[in-house]
Amino acid sequence: MNPVRKQRLFVVLAVLAGLAVAVGLAVYALRQNINLFYTPQQIVNGEAPVGAKMRVGGLVEDGSVQRDPDTLDVVFTVTDGKGSFAIHYQGILPDLFREGQGVVANGTLVSRDRFEADEVLAKHDETYMPPEVQDALEKAGHPGSKPGAKEEDAGYPKGDYD
Amino acid sequence: MWKTIKRWYHQLGSPRYFYRFCEAVLPWLVPVSLALLAVGLIWGLVYAPVERYQGDSYRIIYIHVPASSGALMGYIAMGVAGLVALVWRMKMAEVMLKALAPFGAALAAVSLLTGALWGKPTWGTYWQWDARMTSMLILLFLYLGIMALQNAIRDPRQAARAAALLAVVGVINVVIVKYSVEWLNTLHQGATLKVVGESSIDASMKWPLLISMAGLWLLYAANVLIRARTEVLSRERRSGWVRRLVRDEEA
Amino acid sequence: MFDPYFDSVAAFIAMGEHGFFVWSAYGLSALLIVTNMLVAVRRQGRVRAEIARQARRDGARTSPKAGTSSNSVESNQ
């Protein structure tokens, strides 16, 4: 390669590398703002400010959903295996809301173990299968058949966030 | 191997050879891409089974994933073209940089729109400022920014250099789009299709997805060749071969 | 596997209550993609016509010389 081109290549790659490092550091430093939600572990560890508006996310614990028969009130526990707390919500839950699946809730952290949500969104995992396949897996007692049976299947938690 | 690549690089770097290459490839590239797209979409929309939780709303995957991956691949191609344009000052790289942008921008917009329309019935929201969605929006703005630079600067070579620099540094954003769902916590789920390892989608749903993906990528390629061929003709309009070509076509 | 999943055309249109989302997603996608293809093809036609016009105007005066083409491999720099 002739020296002029070699120099140009070096300059372009240096600019790219420098910018990549800068962006990487910025994302790392701002990750708490870029992350969409606080995890149960962070809530339990007191990393989230009590009384503030925020988003939280986690897996709906199996058997924890309690619906009030007269109103739209619903209470459920979210967990990430390292901590858990209760979410109180009044309203219609999305179709994909179910035990063992992930949710993201928008609202206020009233105390370390109680979150009052204005909005509840359902996460879904990256697996796609027809109902028959799901039934067959369940009959065979396959561990992957039950949503949330393997925590990483539902996208929670994906390792440590800090 | 390296020799073949080098020869290709030099041959396709010649505008006239590139024009002949387009003439040879486009007549089958367009029908093949449309046929694949038709098979993939009809299979996905009509024959593929329903998803256990999402019901029929999951069928948006057959356009959302091909469009998103196409927009990302197109941007990577622009980054490579930008690097070649900056370092080797190759005219054809500038032409490709210009030809790649419009369809890539359209696919980024398709990705965002179909994602929103898929998000509402599944997540319960059209839009959240999560890292995956925000970085995809930035990808669209990068595409539009490159197109704006190419059109705003009068001197085509100056314009190409400015656009090339933006294309190269914008590749960082592609990395963020790809890994945002792994490094950060987002509403968007992780990757379903994996190059290495087993994809987490049932075969009955995977094949139509792969076919429509191949179809849309090839349609993107066809669009790029058509646009690049136009750009070559326009830039080489004073040269003898373009004039003879146009005259022969008229006769 | 190669029977249509849906029992009727109506069920296909309805997409299990998600028809609005599925069909507007595909409609908008088709609109953007088809428009983009058409713009590319039509621009090509315009440029060709422009060059042909120019060539006719020039051809009236002098015919282009055969040796001025930029077909050499080195011309790409």
Provide mean pLDDT across the span B55-79. Answer: 96
pLDDT in tens, A14-49: 999 999 999 999 988 888 888 899 999 999 888 888
Interchain CB distance below 8 Å, B189 and A123: yes
In a domain, B228, yes or no: yes
pLDDT bin (cut points 50, 70, 90) of residue C71 is very low
pLDDT at position A156: 41
Q: Domain range spanning residue B106?
A: 61-245
Provide mean pLDDT across the span B1-29. Answer: 88
Neighbours of chain B (3+ CB pairs under 8 A): A, C
In a domain, C2, yes or no: no
Provide mean pLDDT across the span A63-75. Answer: 89
Domain count, chain B: 1
Residue numbers of B between 37 and 66 with CB closer than 8 Å to C: 45-50, 55-57, 59-60, 63-64
In a domain, B88, yes or no: yes
Interchain CB distance below 8 Å, A36 and B201: no
In a domain, C38, yes or no: yes
Distance CA B83, CA B78 (A): 8
**Number of C-alpha atoms within 13 angstroms, CB side, residue B33?**
18
A135-139, A142-146, B10-14, B134-138: least confident range: A142-146
In a domain, C66, yes or no: no
Distance CA A2, CA A111 (A): 66
pLDDT in tens, B185-240: 899 998 998 887 788 999 999 999 999 999 999 999 999 999 999 999 998 888 88
Q: With contacts defined as CB-CB under 8 Å, which chain B residues touch C28? A: 110, 113-114, 117
More confident residue, B97 or B3: B97
pLDDT value at B151 more than 50: yes
Integer-rounded Cα radius of gyration of chain B: 20
pLDDT value at B26 more than 90: yes
Q: How far is CA A159 from the centre of its chain?
A: 11
pLDDT in tens, C26-43: 999 999 999 999 999 999
CB neighbours of B94 closer than 8 A, spacing ≥ 6? Answer: B81, B85, B156, B157, B160, B164
Among the partner residues A37, A121, A155, nearest to B125 by beta-carbon distance:
A121
Interchain CB distance below 8 Å, B239 and C69: yes
Nearest to B175 by CA among B63, B98, B64, B75: B75
Provide mean pLDDT across the span A4-12. Answer: 89
pLDDT bin (cut points 50, 70, 90) of residue A143 is low
Sequence-separated contacts (24+) of B244-248 with Cβ below 8 Å: B244/C64, B244/C69, B245/B19, B246/C48, B246/C51, B246/C52, B246/C55, B247/C52, B247/C55, B247/C59
pLDDT value at B43 more than 50: yes
pLDDT at position C74: 41
Provide mean pLDDT across the span A94-110. Answer: 91
In a domain, C69, yes or no: no
Interchain CB distance below 8 Å, B53 and A155: no
Nearest to C32 by CA among B63, A158, A161, A123: B63
In a domain, B199, yes or no: yes
pLDDT at position B194: 84
Q: With contacts defined as CB-CB under 8 Å, which chain B residues touch C11? A: none
Among the partner residues B86, B182, B204, nearest to A130 by beta-carbon distance:
B204
pLDDT value at C77 more than 80: no
Interchain CB distance below 8 Å, B122 and A155: no
pLDDT value at C66 more than 50: no
pLDDT in tens, A80-94: 988 899 999 998 888
What is the nearest CA distance from A9 to chain B, expressed in angstroms?
A: 5
pLDDT at position A16: 92
In a domain, B123, yes or no: yes
pLDDT at position C55: 81
In a domain, B15, yes or no: no
pLDDT at position A142: 65
Q: Domain range spanning residue C43?
A: 18-59
C34 touching chain B per CB within 8 A: no
Residue numbers of C between 40 and 69 with CB closer than 8 Å to B: 40-41, 43-44, 47-48, 50-52, 54-55, 58-59, 64-69
Helix axes B91-122, B203-235, angle to 10 degrees: 150
Share of chain B above pLDDT 90, in %: 73
| Pairing of the two strands A102-111 and A114-122 | antiparallel
Q: With contacts defined as CB-CB under 8 Å, which chain A residues touch B191? A: 126
Nearest to A100 by CA among A115, A78, A120: A78
Interchain CB distance below 8 Å, B60 and C72: no
Provide mean pLDDT across the span B80-95. Answer: 93
Distance CA B133, CA B111 (A): 10
What is the nearest CA distance from B113 to chain C, expressed in angstroms?
A: 7
Interchain CB distance below 8 Å, C36 and B102: yes
pLDDT bin (cut points 50, 70, 90) of residue A158 is very low
Quick one: tokens of A141?
């007692």
Find the angle CA(B85)-CA(B171)-CA(B144) to the nearest 5 degrees.
Answer: 80
pLDDT at position A87: 94
In a domain, C41, yes or no: yes
In a domain, B7, yes or no: no
Contact A119, A107 (CB under 8 A): yes
pLDDT at position C33: 98
Domain count, chain C: 1
